[in-house]
Structures are given as structure tokens and as C-alpha cells.
Structure 1
């Protein structure tokens, strides 16, 4: 079953913290000149005025983009040389909007998206017929529907570990992803451009959760590149597929297919696939893993743990979004959320740790060289990012790189780090 591949998808190392040596983050690129303009704001539902998280914001006729955070807020950095320009804002189930760059402000830009209210006709909804056959079609057609050339993507990665409501570890990085064609097998490479990390180990109860793999954990849930991490193509009969209520993004109709693994012996996947009706391309996936089988889930995710403890996941969720450019889809955003429980033999109460990691592609271009020359900045797939708090004192640390705007809780943690250093 596909579950066998999950140790390569997300690997956790849980062990006693014995010693700690801070490592400096590698810095290759740092823009000191203000050759860009930054705009900040919020994307909101025009009917309910609820915030819209993970909305895609892109500068038309460029590959520059970003996403809103879990509070609907965004930061968009645009090079000064491309003005005037227009910006597209889109999200599943809403009518997309194009706005002139002049509409945007350095702070407080409000963008309202209208929900799609039109009921979809039965013909448009169910013309695909067989849900399992539709899933097989999106896998068979991925070489035609997705960017099928070697591509270099710039992305922003954030990983946070919280204990209760407190942030105990925060990592951020700008990376270059060297994507392989979707029709070819072979894992991809990630090159570190810039990074910062800090951890409050005193709040970890002498238990250190270190995420091995870092940005690879969010890259490997690209379902269209790594379908075997979700299910084997030849074993689709081992899954149940059903059509759900369809939806739309802008003027594109989307089938919604729910699925679940029929084999319940091991931790098993279930979720929803959002499929473009015209091109039969996967646009979005929301995945969950049932981890009721506690022993099997522990063996899957926990590589090592200290004596006198029981460590197991109780919630595992993934989100993946694809975006379209010039008729081709490409990997644009992914998020992984894992909730762990740590039970200590001699403690009355257990501890809960939540690990959130997300990665957003902010720019991309086709690779100019056939072979990539690797250097020390290329990450090992089992990397543990070293701690370096110095970057948190520099308000211009990311320069012109587009990043995911920090949530309020993360921003509070950054503010506290700055105060402690000062």
C-alpha cells in the first residue's frame, strides 16, 4: 500500500535533547537596495466578510505570486521595473478578480472576492461518469497538463512547532526547487538560498522534536509528481471514489471526488480531489490520514523516542494547490499539519505538539542547463535546519523575496525574539 512510502514523505525524529550547537544559516542572496515595492493587505469574502486563507495572488504576465496566510493577510513584493501591472486574486469557489497594481497600498489593502453562487448543471457535473476513471485520467494525463520541462522554482518555506498555544520552534527559508518533468520519475532537489530558525528548548520538557527533511516534507506531497505517496496507480481498485457537490474557480468547473482507502489495517488516507472538468487536471487536494491504529502510526512517524514515553500522532492533514500559467498547471502551495501527543510515565498530564509546515512558490522559470551542478547549499533530504536567531533582528532580512505573511501568533513570537535579543 501507499502507506509504506510515508517514511520518505514526512520523517520525524523524537529524542532527548543532549546538546545544542547553533549553526549559521547559509546566505547566498541578499538584496540591500530597495529595488521593489511591498504591498500588504487582506482578502475577504464579500458576502460574509470572513477572511479567505490560501488565496492565490499573482502579477499578470509574470510568474511572481504569493498566498494569503491563515488570517487572510498577504504581502506582495513587486520589482519597480514592471509597473504598471495588473494583479489576479483567485480562490476555489470564488470569482477571480483582476486589479491594477495602483489599487494596492503599502498597508491595509482590502480585496473582496464574490462567492460563486451559480448552481452547476447535471451535464457539467457528472459528464465524467466514473469517478475512479476520472482519477486514473488525471494521472495518465499529467505529462500533458502540467509543466513538463525542468523548472527552477523560488519558494518560501515556514515550519513551526507549538506546544499548546506557545511557539517553541520557528524555521523560515527561501529555497530554489529544481523540479523534474511531471512525466518523468526521479526525486527533485532543493537549494537553500536563505534561512533563519530559533527554538525555545526550555518549553520542550527536555524533549526535542526536530523535523527531518524540512522543505522536502511539503514538496513530496505534490500528488501529481509523487502519486505513489498517496496511492499506487495500478491499485486504484483498493480505494473507494465518489462524486461530491461540484464547485468552480473563476469560470472553470471543478469535479470534486472524495476517496478513502479500503484497507483499514494500517493508517489510511481519505480526502477530496478537485479536478478541472475541461482539462481533467488536479487543481487542489485535501488529504487526511486516519491514525486510529496508534501502534502502526507510531512506527510510521516516530523514528526514536526517549525511554518512559509514548509518542504518537493523533491528526495528520495535508493541503496541495496547483496554479495555471499559459495553459499548464504547476505546483504552487502545500501545507502539512501534524498533531502529536507525548505521554510521560511519571507525569500526570501529557504534552501536545503541533507541527505546521507550508511552502509557497513565489516565482519560477524553466531551467537553462540540462544538468544541475550541486554545491554545499543543496539540502540533504534528511536535513535538520540549524538554529540561527540573528536574522530575526533584521527587518529587511528577506529583501525582495516574496514570503507568506506571518500569522499573528508567529509575528508575536518574532517580536518576542527581537526583544530578547535586544
Structure 2
């Protein structure tokens, strides 16, 4: 249908429009049956979805999902049923594929002419949620189907994707661990703020029974197939990186940047190289003269956490293996069944080692996701490894350290998609009665993958990644991110930035 509309032959267009209009008229005349019922707007629209097979897309500022409505018993044409539920007779409706767009006339996305001087961009904004509960799905993947362009939702499930105007008629692919992915026409979402609901993918009992296998065998197969699943040759990535320090509920410092990355193959001994494109630093003036923790080598950690290249001890199997492994569950990623394997140090091992879960594709044995934390029972033993330098008048104790890593598919291979580290510390000045809590974190998300025009940066262009990144000298760009994709600040972080007396520091 959309292909007909976009054909560049004038004589064909009137016929295509007539066909499309006829199809849409028939759809909106379809009968929907309601028994006398009351519920939220979302619940009632969901009843239409169950009867018709069509999903709804709309701006969450236009329609209140939580508003309570009552629909009288009866049979309604689809269009009338929608108007009854929303209570908004000014709504326009448009069918694209298996989705119905609800909008006001001015919100219909149109193709914007591209100027030679100033390219146009589409803004696709929304929140990914659980279809039944409405809970946000943190770190969902949102990308353009068939390309390396995409972004990761923040902890609130919210995302903002900036796309060139030429991708208006592409398809957006939204996925999250344990859920059925959705593919939605980009033109449905362009210019709107949309709630996207994903359905939990249940795992049939027979699948669980058939796939009961040795977890160590699964992990060894994963290692053996790295050559099939991960790139052996270098690629260029565009990534968004940020790191922050919070004391209690207050933000002390935030540093954000966009990098161009020369990412070497999984079996290469050569180091990855990072080139700084954009950067900004926000400091809380209120805490300028007090103790502030700084993150060292957060960028290096982000690349070290590519565990398919830098194998950790829990993926090294030998006679002195320190870990036990358990197959604890099956889940789903992008419609693929995955084995969930837990690992933890043996009871007789009393070192500060990791515990966590590994998610391995049951079909192709690719490692898709890792969550790991330093064993809480022995985390104090990791103090010297985590803290580089401190005053003798201060005691710093790590309380919790968690890392997550996920991979994204592109062109038949998997690449690092999102990395995050959360480190919580207890800080106490000697002689003081009370201690304070400090949370430091860093994360990096891959926004674009280029396997064709791969460039290795000269050393003079390369950013040192094992230093305190927040102290990097840079020139602030007034236009800042432009068309670059970033992870949106979480609601909590966004409020913290707006409340503090902040300043963007520029150094030349």
C-alpha cells in the first residue's frame, strides 16, 4: 500500500489513492462488539485490538491512557468505537499496515523537502512499555529495520531517535528481552510522542523440556562459534557515552560525549581506538568545594566489557575453574529462544569474583546479554581494585557493583550494543559520625554501525581511554548533538540537571 503511494509515476497515483481509501473505509466500517463494560482508555482500545488484529499508535499527549471510560453494550463500527472510547470527535484515523494512527490533522507526518544547506531530520520519540502492566521497559532497543542505525531506551523506557528525512517510509524495529518485538512504520511515529506496548513472549513447556542441557556445554558452544557470530574484521561505530556521580538523590557531575570508534575484531590483539566528536560537562556548583568522586577509565571499561573479545575468568574453562553454572530459565530476544545461565563462584572460593546471568541464543549460540555483579559477600575485598586514589582522612567502602552488556545484530554478525556500570560506595570522613552514599555510573550505546567505509584513526586523533574522562579538554559546540542519537536522560536525571545551578564548562 505504501509502496504504491510513493511510486513516482503521476498516472498511477490516482488509482493507488482510490484503492487505499477503499481499503481504509472498509476497515473502519468493521463491526466491534462490546458487552457493557468500564475500563481505562488503554484497556478498551486493547479490546478492539483483540477483535480486529489492529494495533493503535497515538501521541500520549493527545490521548490519556489512564482515563476511565464506559462503553454501552452493543455493536459499533470500528471508527465509532474508537471515538466512543477516546471521547474525542476531532480525531483523524489512518491505517498503515496493521497499525491505526490516531492523530489531529496538523500532526500528520509529511515528507519535508531537503535543502542542500540544511538537511531535514525526523524526530521519533516515545516510551516502550509492557502491554499488560504499562511498566516501562528499560534499555529496549529501537532501530531502523535493515540498517545499523538505532538507539537504546533509558531506564524509564523513553527514547528519542533522530533520522534523516529519507527514512520516513522505513520500518522501526523495537525489541526487549523476553518480549515479542514489534515492527512499526516510521511515518506513524514521526512527530509524535508514542507509547509502544510489547507483549510478553511465553515459553511453551515443551520447549523448556526439550532444551534441558548442560550449561557448560552451552557456553563452550558459544565460545566455539564466536567466529560465526562476531566480526573478525574492524568496523566503525558511532557511540554515545555518559558518566555521572550522584550523592544521595543529588547529581554532582555529568559528562556526556559522542565517539567515533575503530572497533577491532573479536580475535584481534589490537586495541580499539576512540575519537571524540562531541562533549559536554555539567557540574553542580553547590558541591564545587567539597569532596567529589571522579570516574577513571570509564571509557576503557566500556570496551573491556565486550566479553566476546575480552574473555573473563567465568568464560575460561580449565581444571582450576572457580565457578559453578546453572541453567535457570529460558527467555526470548528478537523472537529467538535464549538459554539463561547463572554463574557463581564455588563455595570454597573466598575471593571477590563475579556472579550473574548469561543469555545465549538457543539457535545460533550467540551471547546476547550479560548481567554480572561483584559477589556481595566478598565485595569489600575489591576495594583496592575499584578505588585508585583517596585521602587518608576518608574511608571508602564499595557496597554494590553491577555491570550489564548487550549485543545487537547487524549484517549477520553481533556487535556491542549497550554497556552500563553502576557502582555504589559508602563514604565516611574519619572523626565524623555519619557516612554518605555515592553512586557512580557510566554507560555507552551504539547508535550506528559502518562496515563498509572503515577508517583507523591516527594516534594524534585518538582519545586516551584509561584516564579521568571528565577532565578532558574540549571545545563546547553550541549546536551540540545536532542529528546525533543519544540516550535520553532518565526522568530523575533530567530533573536533577534542571534543579542544580549548573554550567557547561568549555576548555580550549
TM-score under structure 2 normalisation? 0.71
Cα distance in 1, alignment partners of residues 320 and 452 from structure 2: 34
Give the counterpart of 2:490 among 394, 398, 407: 407
The verdict on how the C-alpha distance between 1:36 and 1:327 changes in structure 2, with shifts beyond 3 A counting, is same
User: CA offset at residue 214 of structure 1?
Assistant: 3.0
Aligned to 2:292, the other structure's residue is in SS state: strand
The verdict on how the C-alpha distance between 1:307 and 1:255 changes in structure 2, with shifts beyond 3 A counting, is same
User: CA offset at residue 407 of structure 1?
Assistant: 0.8
Give the counterpart of 2:129 among 29, 44, 60: 44
Match of 1:342 in 2: 427
User: CA offset at residue 198 of structure 1?
Assistant: 2.2
Residues 129 and 137 in structure 2, CA contact (< 8 A), matched pair in contact too: yes
Match of 1:152 in 2: 236
Aligned counterparts, 1:95-134, within 5 A? 95-122=180-207, 126=211, 129-134=213-218
Cα distance in 1, alignment partners of residues 378 and 285 from structure 2: 30
Gaps of 5+ in 1: 1-31
1:376-407 deviations in whole A, cap 9, x for unaligned? 44234224323789959x5x421000000111
Match of 1:297 in 2: 382
Match of 2:302 in 1: 218
Aligned to 1:210, the other structure's residue is in SS state: coil
Residues 119 and 164 in structure 2, CA contact (< 8 A), matched pair in contact too: no
Aligned counterparts, 1:29-108, within 5 A? 33-108=118-193
Residues 203 and 330 in structure 2, CA contact (< 8 A), matched pair in contact too: no
Residues 143 and 181 in structure 1, CA contact (< 8 A), matched pair in contact too: no
Give the counterpart of 1:281 among 342, 366, 375: 366
Cα distance in 1, alignment partners of residues 120 and 264 from structure 2: 31
User: CA offset at residue 285 of structure 1?
Assistant: 0.7
Match of 1:252 in 2: 336
Cα distance in 1, alignment partners of residues 303 and 204 from structure 2: 35
The verdict on how the C-alpha distance between 1:123 and 1:299 changes in structure 2, with shifts beyond 3 A counting, is closer
The verdict on how the C-alpha distance between 1:379 and 1:229 changes in structure 2, with shifts beyond 3 A counting, is farther
Alignment of 1:381 with 2:473, yes or no, is: no
TM-score under structure 1 normalisation? 0.85
User: CA offset at residue 293 of structure 1?
Assistant: 3.5
User: CA offset at residue 410 of structure 1?
Assistant: 2.0
The verdict on how the C-alpha distance between 1:123 and 1:208 changes in structure 2, with shifts beyond 3 A counting, is closer
Gaps of 5+ in 2: 1-116
More strand by share: 1
Cα distance in 2, alignment partners of residues 363 and 182 from structure 1: 18
1:362-381 deviations in whole A, cap 9, x for unaligned? 00112645754222442342
Residues 272 and 286 in structure 1, CA contact (< 8 A), matched pair in contact too: yes
Instruction: Using CA pairs under 8 Å that are at least 6 residues apart, name the structure with larger relative contact order, 1 or 2.
Output: 1
Q: What is the root-mean-square deviation of aligned Cα atoms in Å? A: 2.5
The verdict on how the C-alpha distance between 1:266 and 1:201 changes in structure 2, with shifts beyond 3 A counting, is farther
How many residue pairs get aligned? The number is 387
Cα distance in 2, alignment partners of residues 37 and 294 from structure 1: 46
